[in-house]
Structure 1
Amino acid sequence: MNNIFENDQINPAIRQGLKKINFVKPTEVQEKVIPVLMAHKNAVVQAVTGSGKTHAFLIPVMNEIDENLKYPQAILTTPSRELAQQLYQVARQLRDAAGLNITIAHLAGGSDRERQVDKISAHKPQIVVATPGRLHDFVEKKILPLDYVKNFVIDEADMTLDLGFLSEIDFVAQRLPQNCVLTAFSATIPVKLANFLRKYMAKPETIIIDNPTVISPTIKNDLLDIGSKSRKKILYQLLTMGQPYLALIFANTKQTVDELTEFLINQGLKVAKIHGGITERERKRTMREVEAGQYQYVVATDLAARGIDIEGVSLVINYEIPRELEFVIHRIGRTGRNGMSGHAITLIREEEMNQILKLEKMGIHFDFVEIKDNSLIPRTHYHNRKLRKSTSQGLDNKVRGMVKKAQKKRKPGYKKKIKRAIQQDRAQKNKIEQRSKIRKAKRQRKNRRDSQT
């Protein structure tokens, strides 16, 4: 296949700009997406972080900009301020390398709104990088005209859904010109998101970039059963065992991040924290200090997994498993980047093993380890034992008793009898569950009708 970066349909200035920033060989997502967007087709792209998706849409978007038309021609939306800032900087880098006379605006919460209004009123940007909330605000107040928009990109679409921003995107999408090309990039495509996208895209090109390993082969991905030991003390031991260059610790809530930060500081470690509860100014200051190497340890919520790109992370610790299991992929993917080696450790207790089984079904491979002599060593994986235990879970006492007796010698046909009994038991439970769902749905419909009358 010919190198898409050398395609004659791409502005020669952009082709030269790509060489200047060392973009020589396109990634798979760039090879597949760029021709589709250049053909003005709507697209839904499933690709993970680090696959090169940003330039997959930036190149065709910039290629379409008419430098003489001083109106917004492309809107790129992403769900967090940090992601918007990153995307803005990457867009400016490509523009400057190509020497294009294109105006790019950055619209996000946490920045001076009135200053942004004055800038846009004086000089309409040709590319807008925005968070959904600020974009909705500027469109609703008619500060940002949409008449000439040719491309509308929803980056990190699943995160946009998770954070509850689809209504803001919906508001803007309804007001776009009919010939506007819509593109959504997402690590996963949940049903609710797929339904939303179908509303605006008739038969879009669906591009799925396979990622069979899920976790980069450069990452050593360990699972540590802490048993009844203190989770905090195990965390401290892990952080001080190997002296990582930069360790990123993930917790599920702002409160836990605050508690862990205080605990580790009290142990004598210099720790930074990042979560949605700290001010924008404090967060930017913290990021600058982390990038300057002033911190060796950062404790964060999942905002950092999807919204902040911290370079040089050599160790990721999942202090607890996230509620949304797919976030484990994004957390672990913060290390082992750009071909560098990385290390990830997930802390669990035995009762959380079912969550690990689900993650393994998603394609995530873990190596079981234990701490011995202040180092991590391999241990026996008790995955099979858990599966054996789960075989009899949820069965009635009568059936469970038959399973236990099956280990003894029995007459021919006894095992088949057990199998039939288990199947009948499960079928009965499924019937009861289905009836319960039907009754619940009927009650909900009745309640909606009652509320409307």
Structure 2
Amino acid sequence: MKNMNNTFTDSRIKPELQAGLEKIHFTKPTKVQERVIPTMLSRQNVIVQSATGSGKTHAYLVPVFNDIDLSSDYVQAIITAPSRELADQLYQVAKSLRKASGLNISIMHLAGGTDRERQLEKIENKKPQLVIATPGRLLDFVQKKIFAVDAVKDFIIDEADMTLDMGFLNDIDQVAAKLPKDVLFAAFSATIPVKLANFLRKYMAHPDEIIIDNPAIIAPTIKNDLLDVGSKDKKNVLYQLLTMGQPYLALVFANTKQKVDELTKFLQDQGLKVAKIHGGITERERKRTLRQVEQGQFQYVVASDLAARGLDIDGVSLVINYEVPRNLEFVIHRIGRTGRNGLPGHAVTLIREEEMNRIEELEKMGVHFDFVEIKKGELVPRKHYRRRDNREAKNRKLDTKLVGYVKKEKRKRKPGYKKKIKRAIQEDNRQKRKLEQRHEVRKAKRQRRRRREQGR
């Protein structure tokens, strides 16, 4: 007997869609599906903050499918995704639900990097009812009036924070301005930065804001380690990590495509069979590489952040953050590539001491790290770096030399010894401030140089 309180059996959902969900084993809704589906069925605008893997895709696909009038041959719903990989994923999921439900919905996949002329031919042959698109290609087709958007019922922005990060909000804005006033708006995002919130409120007067858990928390199935490489060669540390545990599939993240190329070559020179994925490789090469990874032809993949948000690679047992990204939220998405579907995962972030402040920022966001070091070919626990910092803070006023000086002066009890100690402390603090200022100047120079290199 069906549970009548189950979101998937809501009487407002078409029977074919209910049967299709059951066919693909969607019998118990996730938290995000429980909250979002009834809200969208009630035609309420919604902003959803939910972690990757929480089931948000079907949370909006069900109401979108339910809204489409099969007898009307025009674009009734649009779903945007910031990368072609994500758009393709959504298209595949939508096709799967269409097949299971038997609803003959015309779905069009529009993405940059794909054959535009072929897409035009498809639209001429059959007008789409649902469009799944990247922002740039969507705007291109809307501006050239290849299809009309004045009768769109549902407009969904998936991975909205990534859309912002990649600079696509302006494209979305230009399309959204052409939509009817009664369109249902829904935005799904792992995080809601202020700039994104302000943009969304431009089109949603009183949205229902749904927050499912804290997206910054790493899944409990993931062992999340932090490794200070110190003065060691970082590439050699990476090689050691990749080879000492023999992971089923290891994913290494770097910040730029140049660094991805560099690490791939280094690891290949060490005899490892390594695949690389970043925005600089062709679509054909990307698909071929992913197919080879899925077939188990590669044990190691080096990728840029695009892959962290745009690809869903099964079986990742180890994630290594070779570099801490400029946008700290990307760390969460990177680590989230492992430990999926309840399986155990392992993530290691490589840092140097000057990056510790960024780790503190991540911890404030809710990311917990276990501090480790490599000993005898194994990762073993080490003391939390802040314990050392706290100990140093207690002794900051008096270093070893001054502590001895104080003890000596106290024993002698000569007149004026307190003034001498005070002067010594003041001089020592002055010297320390000079050193700290010098350190900050050098650090700022390093950061500017790093930004210039990343910008190239």
Instruction: Give the 3 Å change call, closer, same or farther, for CA 212–43 of structure 1 in structure 2.
Output: closer
Matched, 1:27 2:5: no
2:234 to 231, 242, 246: 231
Structure 2 match to 1:148: 151
Corresponding residue for residue 157 of structure 1: 160
For residue 443 of structure 2, what is the aligned residue in structure 1?
none
The CA distance in 1 between the partners of 2:394 and 2:280, in whole Å, is 43
- The aligned counterpart of 1:12 is 15
Measured in 2, the distance between the counterparts of 1:133 and 1:213 equals: 29
Following TM superposition, the consecutive aligned residue runs of length 4 or more in structure 1 with deviations greater than 2 angstroms are 384-393
Contact 2:372/2:381 (8 A) holds in 1? yes
Q: CA deviation at 1:101?
A: 1.0
Q: Contact 2:91 / 2:132 at 8 angstroms: preserved in 1?
A: yes
1:291 aligns with 2:294: yes
**Structure 2 counterpart of 1:200, from 180, 198, 203:** 203
Q: How does 1:178-197 map to 2 (within 5 A)?
A: 178-197=181-200
* Partners of 2:50 and 2:215 within 8 A in 1: no
> What is the alpha-carbon distance in structure 2 between the residues aligned to residue 182 and residue 390 of structure 1?
51
Distance 1:176 1:386, change over 3 A: same
Is 1:65 aligned with 2:68?
yes
Letter in 2 for 1:374: G
Query: Any idea what the Cα deviations from partners look like across 1:164-205, whole Å, max 9, x if unmatched?
Result: 001110010000011110101111111111111111111111
Task: Give the distance between the partners of 1:354 and 1:392, measured in 2 at CA.
Answer: 20
Shift in Å, 1:390: 6.6
Distance 2:33 2:78 in 1: 19
Query: Residues 79-122 of structure 1, C-alpha deviation per residue, up to 9 Å, x if partnerless?
Result: 00000000000001001000001110000011110111111122
Structure 1 residues 174 and 312: alpha-carbon distance in aligned structure 2, compared to 1, 3 A threshold? same
Q: Which amino acid aligns with 1:132?
A: P
Instruction: Please show how residues 24-63 of structure 1 align to structure 2 within 5 Å.
Output: 24-63=27-66
Cα shift at 1:401: 7.6
Residue type at the aligned position of 2:283 = E
Distance in 1, matches of 2:393 and 2:258, equals 34
Quote the RMSD (CA, aligned, Å): 2.2
Matched, 1:330 2:333: yes
Q: How does 1:414-453 map to 2 (within 5 A)?
A: none
Secondary structure of 2:320's counterpart equals strand
Q: Which amino acid aligns with 2:200?
A: L
Tell me how far 1:392 sits from its aligned partner: 9.8
| Gap regions ≥5 residues in structure 2 | 411-417, 419-456
Q: 1:239 to 1:180 in 2, by over 3 A?
A: same
1:358 aligned residue: 361
- Contact kept, 8 Å, 2:216 with 2:365, in 1: the verdict is no
Q: Judge conservation of contact 2:264–2:275 (CA < 8 Å) in 1.
A: yes
- Provide closer, same or farther for how the CA distance between residues 212 and 120 of structure 1 changes in structure 2, counting only shifts above 3 A: closer
Deviations 1:289-317 (A, max 9, x none): 11111100000010011011111100000
CA distance in 2, matches of 1:106, 1:307: 16
The answer to whether the Cα contact below 8 Å between 2:191 and 2:215 also exists between their aligned partners in 1 is: no
Three-state SS of the structure 2 residue aligned to 1:338 is: helix
Is 1:166 aligned to residue 169 of structure 2? yes
C-alpha distance in 2 between matches for 1:329 and 1:130: 25
Percent of aligned pairs with the same residue? 69
Q: What letter matches 2:371 in structure 1?
A: F
Q: 2: CA distance between counterparts of 1:164 and 1:121?
A: 30
Over 3 Å counting, the alpha-carbon distance change for 1:131 and 1:267 in structure 2 is: same
Provide the secondary structure at the position in 1 that maps to 2:340: coil
Alignment of 1:44-443 (within 5 A): 44-211=47-214, 214-387=217-390, 389=392
Shift of 1:389: 4.8
Cα offsets for 1:265-302 (capped at 9, x unmatched): 00000000011111111111111111111100000010
Structure 2 contact 111–133 (Cα < 8 Å) conserved: yes
SS of corresponding position for 1:268 = coil
Residues 209 and 112 of structure 1: is their aligned pair in 2 closer, same or farther, counting only changes over 3 Å?
same
Q: Deviations over 1:232-271 (max 9, x none)?
A: 0000001000100000000001111000000000000000
Aligned-residue offset at 1:211? 2.6
Contact 2:17–2:101 at 8 Å: present in 1 too?
yes
Quick one: structure 1 residues 328 and 68, their matched pair in 2 at CA, closer, same or farther if it must change by over 3 Å? same
Partner SS for 2:367: coil
- Distance in 2 of aligned mates of 1:199 and 1:165: 16
| Structure 1 gaps, min length 5 | 394-399, 412-453
1-structure distance, mates of 2:79, 2:215 = 29
Structure 1: distance between partners of 2:331 and 2:390: 22
TM-score normalised by length of structure 1? 0.86
What whole-Å deviation, never above 9, does each CA across 1:340-362 have from its counterpart, x for those lacking one?
10000011112211111111111
Measure, in 1, the Cα distance between the counterparts of 2:393 and 2:148: 58
TM-score of the aligned structures, taking structure 2 as reference length: 0.85
